[in-house]
Structure 1
Amino acid sequence: FTFVFVGNLKPDSLKPLVEKWIGSLPSVGRRESWRDDGVRIPRGVIERVVKKGVEPKSRTAIVFSGPMEFDRRNRYQLSALSEFLNIKLRETLREERGGTYGVGVSAAASAHPFPSYRMTIGFGSAPDKLEELTSAVFAQIDSLQTIGTTDAYLVKVKEAALRSRETALRQNNYWLAQISSFDMNGWPLAEIPAGDKLISSLTTSALREAALKYLRKDNYVRVSLYPENFAVEAR
């Protein structure tokens, strides 16, 4: 195991504690590693409807996933794409259409058990609005993939990333996650502060390329929740 400590720590004070509480632990003489449990997100287009509950509310989740080239630039572009969709879908679904209680987009990338990504789009709405809003989501994806976006939205994405990073740099959990991740992936720790360069290098064409790469319409899972008594039209 590799133990990582962050915070206002004095090496001379920390060392005897590490020796006492970690150094004294029994060792079996092997280096631990991850284990592949064989679980994979289904491939192709998977669409399912679940009817549960009686409240007149619905929710849908759309998950895009697949293999990726796992490096810092691709991970940031995936994150930037997620932030762009958060901004654009919030404007489109909530502010312009007034049809959703809230929309969220999240992205994750992993090197194990194989380099892969996952992008999840989720929102809630009235049951009779769900299909309309889902179509609007895919329309925004189509627009980004075919036309691209504007410099104005690029600035919004960069500003959001810089604000988040400015806050994170003052938090111990950020440094703990970064040091652990860099160590596990074999990246030089000295490159951790280079995040600002990744943000400044982002372009509108990079966002469009990321959308084409990570939002494939021939490979996603969509699950929609409706009340039990709502009549769902056949797709």
Structure 2
Amino acid sequence: MSTVIPAPFPTILPVSESQKGFPVRRVYCVGRNYAAHAVEMGHDPNREAPFFFQKNPDNLDPSGEFPYPPLSSDVHHEVELAVVLKSGKRSIPAASALEHVYGYAVALDMTRRDLQAEAKKAGRPWEAAKAFERSAPIGRIMPAADSGFLDQGRIALSVNGELRQEGDLNQLIWKIPEIIAKLSELFQLGAGDVILTGTPAGVGSVQRGDLMLATVDGLPELTVRVI
């Protein structure tokens, strides 16, 4: 069918050691999925039911640059493991959830923390704090066939050479198969979905000119300049 305006280009992410890209369908994020970060944000770290929010597909940005957004003076970094799906459906059992995983990448959930705090206080949604343009820098995707299942390994972020965040994937409150299973109860998951699995403690603000280095053991590192 022809369109009344030009159709937008899909978001396509680079895949490690491949000339082919990964097309993005949806982006889901898991909130407060490391106990120390839950405490850091003033919440109970006990294993409560997971909660989710979304970013837009075109928020994912592999360019290596993060433009500091307008209307905020307190933008925070949050390093995360991204899980990308090659298939999906409703009601996926945790026992078979990994069959739907294509691969993994290092990502950042950049957050307008001041706008998020205002939204929380007013009981309003977080979109302005989370789903702004280029708010999710992301590295090259490593196929699970090459990396294996990532259930442990160091996750870290430094700013200008100073370590800010550090944890281990084994500290995830809700593990990757459980996240996929829980999400599939709420949504019909599908090929092209990207899941950001949560951030360890140590989130903090960035300024224009800062250089962020995000790493997860076994994955291509992500270097991002704040501009």
Which TM-score band applies after superposition, normalised by the shorter structure? under 0.3
Q: Which structure carries more relative contact order (alpha carbon 8 Å, separation 6+)?
A: 1
| Structure with bigger gyration radius | 1
Query: Which of the two has greater helix per residue?
Result: 1
Query: Which of the two has greater strand per residue?
Result: 2
Compute the TM-score of the two structures, normalised by the length of structure 2.
0.28
Compute the TM-score of the two structures, normalised by the length of structure 1.
0.27
